[in-house]
Chain A
């Protein structure tokens, strides 16, 4: 539909459709930019995880790739000292509020936090920041899956799928600030809510917050 344009990412010229969002354009070309909250089909990016920072020539400060439509001649750098520092801090902040202990997590080896750590050479433990996690109970009420808020990074992918793909509207974000979390309407247990337990939200969870029971049991026994 739209004509292709040439942009430069990390010195490499790539051809992408004009107006495409930079994050997806780069990922399609095999250039990895850390991201958690991005949803390709979403009308408007949430831009909430603050991980996909890049520097673009002509823009003074780093910007998020998920909010940036590509333009002809755009020169992008995904790795600069400023970008690396922002990504590192954002990543560490997420870890400070995330239940660590990958060995016991059903998402081990398949977790996007692990992927970011690997790609960017970041540690999967807290070094300079203080742990902020207050352990809260998991919701094991559904037949097929478990919701563990202690592992949730608030990317919102589950909420988006629930609202826009399966169109049930069982879950959403509630409360503000540190209290913000994904919950069912009225903060009921999943089994008591209008959730149909279709499992689509579990499939898109990038970390171990929503996981199928079968998988969970495998790991819990380890």
Chain B
């Protein structure tokens, strides 16, 4: 194999030179890149794309339009990047069809870059700030997201032009053991959640006898609020493929799978295209790049069961059985798919691999913290201004991530907690904002890195309800095999539901805690072992909210419907306004004899429409907890008289 080394490198260099030429040629004329990942499409990117195409052809311009993935600024979708010779490349968002038309006419035809719609420039210039001029840019350090949104995910040449597959060409001239050693020395930890050292997994698999060996890319992302794996597959699928091919070479696998959920149709399409193109170029399949290493990848579409992200369940699913976990050990690295040694790595983990091979383990270790080197990719969701994907070095604090990268809490509300690591993670309070984010610190705080889902909660979120919400998810997604997960999470969910309805018992908090501990210790797989985390952390940090629900029948965040009453404050209400009456779907609001408005409590379905409808100058509708009891207070009297009308 080593004799073929120079030939491999030359074959690769040839591919890269051609790709570069093609890519550079693109920018010789104006080029419009439209972000059409799922996030962009949801915001209307396909219409924007069509508008650009139509406007450009109507004006008979010689300009290219390309679909790209997601840059991570999902809050500004649909996003558009315009390259025009003589101008710095500029990034616009959110763009609608009208803006698209103006950009074509004003910028592409008339040389006005429309700075008013721009977010940032991509290269330093004298006219407009770049991303690194914002606070976000100071913390962000993009490795695996670097090319997302900038290259066409359906054109392999774009990836090749950006050092793509260079790492593959490099490893093919190396001894597989040296590749494993490099990954081991980089201390790369699995980004799927648990943070297991990737190198050790590879080494175990490599040292286990048995053929064939398999490598699997776990793209069964299912956490509520997490979308980074999808974004990577949709924006830069070749990066994942390259990582997977390198993994296969390192451990000696001949067959690979990408296990992706069928709910990600765009990701599936783009990966499919990427696989075909990689095969065409000889980067996948028989004797890759002319070496004697052969390897191919199949896509396996899962039907979207959360538990199938668990390694053993994922294997069962590929084997054609229900996706139900098995006990470990044996670990898949020694006995996995069809009983053969199998490496399963997350999309993000594999995405780091080409970079580590290209730039070396030492470079990777120089980023992040000692025990969690590299960067962390987070999907910011919830009550944060800049929702989207962020990649920051490990060790960045939550505060920096939320306030500088995420640009603070929406609507100037007060921060309450952050649910980090998806349903398996935990809710961390304000006091935890300064802990550095890495695998170990988060675990210590009771949360976990998880897949990197990060849901921001503000003062309007009830922590008991949040715990109930996440537990409802895991309870429904439990496969039901083992006693603790099947019945334990159901017990906990029932208790939480009762508490949010004001029917909690004083001993329930302790019972929840005990059950949570036992479920963690006793469950068969990771789903059950982590399902209680949101409950444990909310009790740990927000016990007073649980107590308020149980002892006072009160929801401090005014979120739990059965513990609140809507009330119209007479002093704020206007005789001249009837908006709330019109907004009420159940005719629960009436006009009092003095022309002010009030609510029939028994009719109100607490839909919140009146509160939204009440004009900002009045803000007369409020929520009260504990709820108003019928025979107390003015409001109730009127309600009774109203009923007797």
Contacts and interface: CB of A to CB of B under 8 A. Distances in A.
A48 B488 contact: no
Contacts of B479: 176-177, 180
B430 interface: no
Contact of A177 (B326, B476, B483, B514): B476
Interface stretch (A5-13, A91-99, A160-168): A91-99
B443 to A, nearest CB: 15
Nearest to A175: B480
A86 B524 CA distance: 13
A178 B524 contact: no
Q: Which of B476, B487, B491, B515 has the most CB of A within 10 A?
A: B487
A173 B322 contact: yes
Contact of A50 (B476, B494, B515, B523): B523
A3 interface: no
B327 interface: yes
B249 interface: no
Given A48-B524, A67-B327, A177-B477, A93 B491 contact: yes
A209 B326 CA distance: 25
A132 B522 CA distance: 19
B477 to A, nearest CB: 7
Dominant SS among interface residues on chain B: helix
A178 B491 CA distance: 11
A71 B515 CA distance: 32
B480 A176 contact: yes
Contacts, number: 91
Contacts of A44: 326
B473 to A, nearest CB: 11
Given A61-B521, A86-B522, A50 B484 contact: yes
A96 B487 contact: yes
Interface string A113-156: 00000000000000011101000000000000000000000100
Contacts of A154: 480-481, 486
A180 B490 contact: no
Contact of B518 (A89, A97, A176): A89
A195 interface: no
A62 interface: yes
A111 B488 CA distance: 23
B495 interface: yes
B635 interface: no
Contacts of B524: 47-48, 50
A28 interface: no
B515 A89 contact: yes
Contact of B522 (A46, A53, A173, A175): A53
A181 B486 CA distance: 11
Contacts of B327: 45, 47, 64, 67
Contacts of A177: 475-480, 486, 490
Interface string B499-529: 0000000010001001100100111100000
Contacts of A64: 327
Contacts of A176: 305, 477-480
B604 interface: no
Contacts of A45: 327
A179 interface: yes
A-B pairs, 4 with minimum CB distance: A180-B480, A93-B487, A47-B327, A89-B518
